[in-house]
Amino acid sequence: MASRVRNKVAWIVFAFLAIGIGLYPLLYFFTSEEIGLLASKSAELLSSKVWNMAFYGHITFGGLALLTGWSQFSQKLRSRNLTLHRNLGKIYVIAALIGGICGVYLGFFATGGIIPAVGFICLGIIWLYTTLRAYVAIRKKDLSLHQGMMIYSYAACFAAVTLRIWMPLLIMATGQFLVSYKIVAWLCWVPNMIFAFLWVRRKGLTID
């Protein structure tokens, strides 16, 4: 009984964070001020049309991936409405691929130099790779591989959430934005991948 309650609370927190951060990009569209990441960028970069397309593409489709992806782990949804599960999955894949491509591009312009740049580029590549493998697997009706890769894919996607949890804690600990940003570029996703690995092993999924 206690474990069931804990699982339900964990699920509610998981969904709440995914939806909350998934809606976060709306702030960028409803304010004229340079908020969040934009405040750390140079005027030259902010004036680049390509960079802006990538940035808004990343936050828009990344947010959509967060908003749709969490529902794919609901057993009730899969059992009660498989068509909805599949349609939301298609939206997630498209959003993840667009958001991931934009994210890899943005990684080359990461604030703080090569350390955060490599971190975010690796994250984007992992997100793209696992999402594509999950999609190809389900097309081949390899359910085990599909489920395993989806766990890894959404763990990469969920880095948007964990980044916003870690960042203020790191700034409080270090007192410096740049130092914290270099750390969070890796901390936001590496533990997520470790968690995904353990989850996949616990479920006994085959991903070779």
**Among 21, 22, 52, residue whose Cα is nearest residue 34:** 52
> What is the mean predicted confidence (pLDDT) over 129-142?
95
The CATH architecture one would assign to domain 2-31+40-203 is Up-down Bundle (1.20)
Cα separation, 125 vs 128, in Å, equals 5
pLDDT exceeds 90 at position 167: yes
Distance CA 151, CA 73 (A): 9
H-helix segments, the chain:
2-23, 26-29, 43-46, 49-69, 75-80, 82-107, 114-139, 143-157, 159-174, 177-187, 190-203
Query: What is the C-alpha separation between 122 and 191, in angstroms, rounded?
Result: 14
The answer to whether residue 29 scores a pLDDT higher than 80 is no
pLDDT over threshold 70, residue 1: no
| Banded pLDDT at 11 (limits 50, 70, 90) | confident
Q: Per-residue confidence at 35, pLDDT binned at 50, 70, 90?
A: low
- The predicted structure's pLDDT at residue 76: 81
Q: Which residue is listed with tokens 């340079």?
A: 34
How confident is the model at residue 36, as a pLDDT? 65
User: Around Cβ 17, how many Cβ atoms within 10 Å?
Assistant: 18
CA–CA distance, 77 with 68 (Å, rounded to integer): 12
Q: What is the DSSP letter of 113?
A: S
pTM, to two decimals? 0.90
**pLDDT top residue among 111 and 31:** 111
Among 155, 101, 162, 102, which residue's Cα sits nearest to residue 128?
A: 101
Distance CA 130, CA 154 (A): 9
Give the separation between CA 85 and CA 204, rounded to whole angstroms.
22
pLDDT averaged over every residue in the chain = 90
Question: Can you give the residue ranges of every domain in the chain?
Answer: 2-31+40-203
